[in-house]
Amino acid sequence: MVLTGAQVIMECLLEQGVDTVFGYPGGAVLNIYDALYEYRDRINHIRTAHEQGAAHAADGYARSSGKTGVCIATSGPGATNLVTGIATAYMDSVPVVAITGNVNLDLLGLDSFQEVDITGITMPITKHNFLVKDVRKLADTIRAAFRIANSGRKGPVLVDIPKDLTAQKVEFLPPAPPEQEKHHLFPFEQRFEQALQMLEKAERPFVYAGGGVIASGASEALKTFAERLDAPVACSLMCQGGFDQTDSRYMGMLGMHGTNTAALAIKNCDLFVAVGTRFSDRVLCNAKSFAQHCPIIQIDIDSAEFNKNIDVDLKLKGDAREILEELNRRLPQHTHADWMANIAAWKADYPLSQTASDPNGVTPQEVLETLSDLTNDDAIICTDVGQHQMWAAQFYRFRHPRQFISSGGLGTMGFGLGAALGAQVANPDARVINIAGDGSFHMNCNELATAVAYNIPVMELVFNNSVLGMVRQWQKLFYDNRFSQTDLDKNTDFVKLAEAFGAKAFVIQTKADIRPVLEQAFALREPVLIDCRIDKDVNVLPMVPAGASVESPILEM
């Protein structure tokens, strides 16, 4: 059948199982939006308040569902407004397809109105990007974008389409039969045998899981592996929920804000097994002192991650789930009773805990643990970036994959509310809560308007301490209390702001408010904001100072 380029885009989205796109209209995508109107009964479109919000919403949709998220923006500033969201997805290996319009073909490269070289701009932050110059190649390009985004190490792909191509007509052909899918490269047999020998020899093994566990659907295989090896497990920020946190083997996070139990375990282990993690600097802290006393096995799908940040002794390249399942088939049951007893003792000796200077004051721990209770540990928790992000990872009990949606690699303030919108759209029956700080909330509060316009029932929980808490914490520790530009000095009334957008709002001011306010908010199935007042001197602990060993965290300030 003969279709316009814009209609071809719609048909390709339907081929890929896309039910929702996030975006913002503009001149260069008028034909695409006209086609969206035509296809509105099959493709839902959410118009965000800002293109960055659309990118974050597509990201949250993808992280929470495992499907590829889609966002659309016009040329020039519309396209550049996507850049931070694309970079966020790239750093955390999230499958997103961003579709941008551009000026007509004959105007490219002439500094035309609202023209930017968006493929050049996004080259370092996409798995691949395309500038389509022939409408006959449009369908196959869209198909390739989805294939690339959601294969191997996942990530964002951008497709830039000049406006005149979206109006041109072309014969639309169904996709060719898919080629036989190539199996992931699997480690040589010799490497499996070496891994099994190292696992057999270990008396104090440590299993560390990263975001690749969730991306590959390896959570069950990880649980079996830990049980078979009889080993404790720590998770990266991106793997929260990848291992059941109520499991006695779970030690918490490892790294700059990891638990002391995990720090003591890495100090005393005799084998470190890393699954689906890139060994970021926030985990290693000081790479020269990280696990120098024991061998390291690394399982990863991306060979570029081997020996990039730290040298490892054995590399197992491939899909994390497939490799763990193969190891599980071959691994006999191990028992390390003394080692596991040590782990249990450290957990008892060094629990995560917070106290308020005012006995009636609110601590994030009490709020988040109450949230866990009220939601049966089953909510999808999104976060912005800062102290509140770490508190959410520390104190909410994540039991399932894709429960925790946060910007780990790029650390994008303003990420959370857009991501929460996407997660809620992808999971309409779930309870979705965005945990924010007041600094982050000021960066994306406009997306409350989107939540209200589409009646997307997210909860925005703002830990309001009137400071940029994480930066201020560093200033307190390392800059002799010179709080340069971290006291926000804003007089924003969050309740009035939320009500101005059309959302309900509540305030938590004392410990006694926590449960009744949360219960009242949960009784509403509509957008709601909670202004949760906390002391500006509540810190994120433990904390490993920059350059220090991960084995020596600060436990109190």
pLDDT tens track for 428-483: 999 999 999 999 999 999 999 999 999 999 999 999 999 999 999 999 999 999 99
Quote the pLDDT of residue 380.
Answer: 98
193 as an active site residue: the answer is: no
Distances (CA, A) of 405 to 276, 371, 464, 541: 17, 16, 20, 21
Environment class of 402 (CB within 10 Å of its CB; exposed 0-12, middle 13-18, buried 19+): buried
180 as an active site residue: the answer is: no
Q: What is the pTM of this model?
A: 0.96
Quote the pLDDT of residue 258.
Answer: 96
Q: Is the pLDDT of residue 401 over 90?
A: yes
Catalytic: which of 67, 127, 154, 163?
163
Q: State the CB neighbour count (10 A cutoff) for residue 67.
A: 18
pLDDT tens-digit readout, 285-323:
999 999 999 999 999 999 999 999 999 999 999 999 999
Q: Is the pLDDT of residue 548 over 80?
A: yes
Catalytic: which of 10, 198, 253, 470?
470
163 as an active site residue: the answer is: yes
113 as an active site residue: the answer is: yes
In which band, very low, low, confident or very high, does the pLDDT at 356 lie, cut at 50, 70 and 90? Answer: confident
Any idea which of 19-23, 36-40, 171-175, 498-502 has the lowest mean pLDDT? Answer: 171-175
| Domain 189-349 belongs in CATH node 3.40.50.1220 | yes
Quote the pLDDT of residue 404.
Answer: 98
- Sign of the alpha-carbon dihedral angle for 110, 112, 116, 117: negative
532 neighbors 547 (Cβ within 8 angstroms): no
pLDDT tens-digit readout, 331-344:
999 999 999 999 99
For the chain, domain boundaries: 2-171, 189-349, 364-533
Helix ranges (DSSP H) in 445-556: 447-453, 469-478, 494-501, 514-522
In which band, very low, low, confident or very high, does the pLDDT at 181 lie, cut at 50, 70 and 90? Answer: low
Quote the pLDDT of residue 183.
Answer: 55
Select the CATH number that applies to the domain covering 364-533 from these four: 3.40.605.10, 2.40.50.140, 3.40.50.970, 3.40.50.300.
Answer: 3.40.50.970
pLDDT tens-digit readout, 20-30:
999 999 999 99
From CA 103, how far away is CA 74, in angstroms rounded?
9
Catalytic: which of 113, 203, 478, 496?
113
Dihedral (Cα; 290, 296, 301, 303), 10-degree rounding: 80
From CA 266, how far away is CA 281, in angstroms rounded?
16
Query: CATH for 2-171?
Result: 3.40.50.970
Any idea which of 168-182, 379-393, 410-424 has the lowest mean pLDDT? Answer: 168-182
Average pLDDT of the chain, as a whole number: 96
Q: Is the pLDDT of residue 180 over 70?
A: no
51 as an active site residue: the answer is: yes
Quote the pLDDT of residue 87.
Answer: 98
Catalytic: which of 11, 22, 51, 543?
51
Task: Pick left, alpha or beta for residue 331 (phi over 0 → left; psi -120 to 50 → alpha; otherwise beta).
Answer: beta
Residues contacting residue 146 through CB under 8 Å, at least 6 positions apart: 16, 68, 97, 157
Catalytic: which of 15, 38, 114, 227?
114
Q: Is the pLDDT of residue 67 over 60?
A: yes
Question: Three-state secondary structure along 141-209?
Answer: HHHHHHHHHCCCCCCCEEEEEEHHHHHCEEECCCCCCCCCCCCCCCCCHHHHHHHHHHHHHCCCEEEEE
